Amino acid sequence: MIVLTRLNGSTFAVNPDLIERIQENPDTSIVLVDGTTFIVQESTGEIVDAVASYRARVIALAHSYNFDGPQAPRTAPRLGIVDSSGQVGTGRKGTR
């Protein structure tokens, strides 16, 4: 999340992955993918820098994890219908 400032001075956090566009005319407006618009004090350049910094932190955090060799492959959970006795069936019996 990046923290931005509304014109009244209050701050809020927004997920930068949801930003569709940023425009200045003369106030800076952020339009999210769902159409929500926020007018903020920060300039377009400041917002772009904040998004770049956020993404860099995410990548740095991912690289900081210590992995001790290959992980055992995960097996997919067995899916099926549980009958009244608690047994898992394939769900194929009686299907159309």
| CB distance 2 to 16 below 8 Å | yes
Alpha-carbon span 22 to 18, nearest angstrom? 11
Local confidence pLDDT in tens for the 96 residues of the chain:
999 999 999 999 999 999 999 999 999 999 999 999 999 999 999 999 999 999 999 999 888 876 666 666 667 666 667 777 777 665 555 544
pTM here is 0.66
